[in-house]
């Protein structure tokens, strides 16, 4: 009985943590990390600030968890690119399709990554380096995939332009 109760409590804690992360992504995308308070977050998901702090001891720890969650999404794109034929238009089309599907399911994730990168750019904040590393994961794999394409003379620049344009369009779309 006690084991079942603990398992139920663990499931509830995991679900609450996921709700907090989703709300943080949405609020960080809309109003930025610095302007979002724990009280805003608690109100958005109808919890107390204390409950949020129970799951994330600080706003910084929550930010790290958000970046981890966003990084997993970018890894999906990188894995897709790594597994594809080098330099094909089909690769670009498939990547766009996967990105659009992701955007339809969770537009705030795409917007949040761009918003955090913009907000923290040049700040020296430790998360700034992590965000650059998240982007670099995709840029490196996409540039490698484009490196043998006869019409792409600067694969890294093309990869950076690609991810930047996709995120810019996403931001404008909301």
- How long, in residues, is the chain? 174
The pLDDT value given to residue 81:
83
Decide yes or no: CATH 2.130.10.10 for domain 2-173.
Answer: no
The pLDDT value given to residue 123:
93
Biggest CA pair distance of the chain: 65
pLDDT-based confidence at residue 87 (cuts at 50, 70, 90): low
The pLDDT value given to residue 99:
84
pLDDT-based confidence at residue 85 (cuts at 50, 70, 90): low
**Whole-angstrom distance, CA of residue 172 vs CA of residue 174:** 6
Q: What percent of the chain has pLDDT over 70?
A: 94
Q: Which residues contact 21 (CB under 8 A, 6 or more apart)?
A: 62, 65, 66, 69
The pLDDT value given to residue 173:
61
Contact between 61 and 26 under an 8 Å Cβ cutoff? The reply is no
């Amino acid at each position: 009985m006690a084991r079942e109760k603990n398992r139920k409590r663990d499931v509830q804690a995991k679900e609450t943590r996921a709700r907090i992360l989703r709300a943080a992504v949405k609020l960080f995308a809309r109003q930025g990390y610095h302007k979002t308070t724990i009280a805003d977050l608690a109100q958005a998901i109808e919890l107390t600030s204390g409950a949020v702090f129970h799951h994330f001891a600080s706003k910084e720890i929550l930010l790290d968890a958000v970046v981890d969650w966003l990084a997993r999404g970018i890894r999906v794109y990188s894995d897709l690119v790594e597994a594809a034929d080098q330099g094909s238009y089909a690769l670009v089309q498939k990547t766009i399709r996967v990105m659009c599907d992701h955007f339809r399911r969770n537009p705030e994730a795409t917007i949040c990554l761009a918003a955090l990168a913009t907000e923290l750019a040049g700040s020296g904040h430790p998360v700034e380096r992590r965000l650059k590393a998240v982007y670099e994961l995709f840029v490196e794999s996409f540039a490698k995939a484009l490196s043998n394409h006869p019409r792409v003379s600067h694969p890294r620049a093309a990869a950076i332009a690609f991810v930047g344009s996709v995120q810019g369009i996403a931001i404008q779309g909301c």
